[in-house]
Structure 1
Amino acid sequence: MTSLLHPIPMNHRSHMEGFPRGWYCLAESDQVIADTLLPVSWLNQEFIVYRTASGVAQAADAYCPHLGAHLASHDGCIVDGQIVCPFHKWRYDAQTGRCASIPYAKMVPPVKLKLYPTREINGMVVVWYHPTGEAPDHEPFNSAVLDQGTWVLYNRRDWTTTCPFRDILENLFDTAHIVQLHNATEMPDLGSIERTDHGLKVDYAIDPDKSDQPLKRLECQFSGISLLVQHYEFVGAEALFVFSFTPIDNERFVQTTRLYLLDSGDPGHLDRIGKPFVERFVYEVDQDMAILNFKKHLPQPRLCDGDGPILRFREYANEFYR
């Protein structure tokens, strides 16, 4: 007998194989420091993340193309803009990936370390993934508001989940569960849904005539189905949620949520906004995960007229699996 205390294999719950193309978070910006190789495991792969001599974040294959040593193992390092393999001390230019020198060879073969298209946005280092290795077909959304005024990273949380990957963001378009699971007083109105170069923009419809409504505006920007930025404007406050969804392997992925608050200069004011916001958010995510970790992705769900624009999101999500 199988208990729900244990994961149900993904091939029992989803017909989708592999990962959708898109931009995936490999590390937080503050984790990637100068002259250091950061080893990470995502997308069934091993990467190293580092900064070039000019300070630009870059992701590369973790294994030396010579004989397969992990470049961040033993005394592998990055020195003077070159990655030094711990095994035979081959050196690779950190910016181009080209082999620059071999201490015991007279001729340097045209060997190159595999580099991945990498961007640094919204406090994250993200890498482009395509199942067949094709170049990026869009850029990730980079919120300009973080460059306007002073923002404080108030909270950062991680959840490791066994939800079918494409269902995690579909959950936002399932408006009925906001009332039925989270006990909201009314279902949200997603308002306008607009296709963009980076993915999707959703503006929630907020009733300005409600005197007890502290939320004045909520805009969501999706980059593919792997990144999401939510911009909240309240009476007397402003907040930005930055979400990333990165698969570890075929069974699990990590949802990371970062809450930025516009600095008012008063720490007490930030706590009055941020603390209840985080507590409610964490409570609702935990509620979702208790179900999503075991749910099955149904290719043909039986929907009713109150379920929200789930099929519209699915049409959009399908693009990234082609």
Structure 2
Amino acid sequence: SLTHLTECFFWGGDRSHGENLTVVTHFILLGIPHTEGLQNILFPVFLLFYMCTLLGNLLIMTAGLHTPMYFFLSNLSFIDVCHATVTVPKMLADFLSTAKTISFGGCVAQMFFLHLFACTEIFLLTVMAYDRYVAICNPMHYLTIMNQKVCLLLAGTIWLGGTVHSLALTGMTIKLPYCGPQKVDNFFCDVPPVIRLACTDTYVIEILIVSNSGLISVVCFVVLVVSYGIILVSLRKRLAEGRRKALSTCAAHLTVVTLFLGHCIFIYSRPSTSFSEDKVVSVFFTAVTPLLNPIIYTLRNEDMKQALNKLFGRKVTKVSGSIPATG
């Protein structure tokens, strides 16, 4: 029957051995803890965060800079917009709803895109560290090394890597049997809280998650720290003005890296254990960090501020030019 085939698909096998089990069709999101009665306050706050995230990152994407660094920065802004859109609109809708449910397919889609954009961003931050290394340690050959073909190849590679990572993690999750518990202890579907609902031993899957997500985060973080250690050593030989500008750019990148990878290491290095702080960290990760990225980069980078000033200047000029003279 169709029901039997559906069960076989979700369970990854034939459940015809007399087991009276039910296939879960939806999950219930428990949301952010200790926020009962605060929905009318939280909704406009997070809506404002989300709108500012969209505006700030779209401004960076349309700033009109054409260097390798800003090619990657535009990719980062695009990922941040997508990353926030995966979780925040659903969270906003749940603030206004009593039934905080999500379909099984919707939950799977949320997990897939969440890990796609998160892993791609980790790889992108690592590539951006390499870009800064080349720019600071080998400035005479920077544009030759980081030419358009190399930038496109690196961008394609990080997106491919994020896709493979997300497919592997989501594939392992949906192959588990889900037969009863439906309450996801978070405000969005993520792999650690979802696999805790499986009706089977998930120890092997948890080890694979640590090996996958946790290891990627830790290794990339170590690579980034080593890269910036080399950069800082090389800056000792620079003149004060060049050193100040390079340090400002590196500080902005390191701040973003710390905020982003700190969450990944905190959550995915021990998926079998749940802390009350997990939800607070997840809120910051999904709703606040994508907003902080454009603020950090624009406030600490003179080139970006000049580009945005030119962008706004052109818009003001066009608006003023379209108004007919009077008097």
What TM-score bracket applies, with the shorter chain setting the length?
under 0.3
Determine which structure has the larger strand proportion and give its number.
1
Normalising by the residue count of structure 1, what TM-score does the alignment of the two structures yield?
0.26
Normalising by the residue count of structure 2, what TM-score does the alignment of the two structures yield?
0.26
Structure having greater relative contact order (Cα 8 Å, sep ≥ 6)? 2
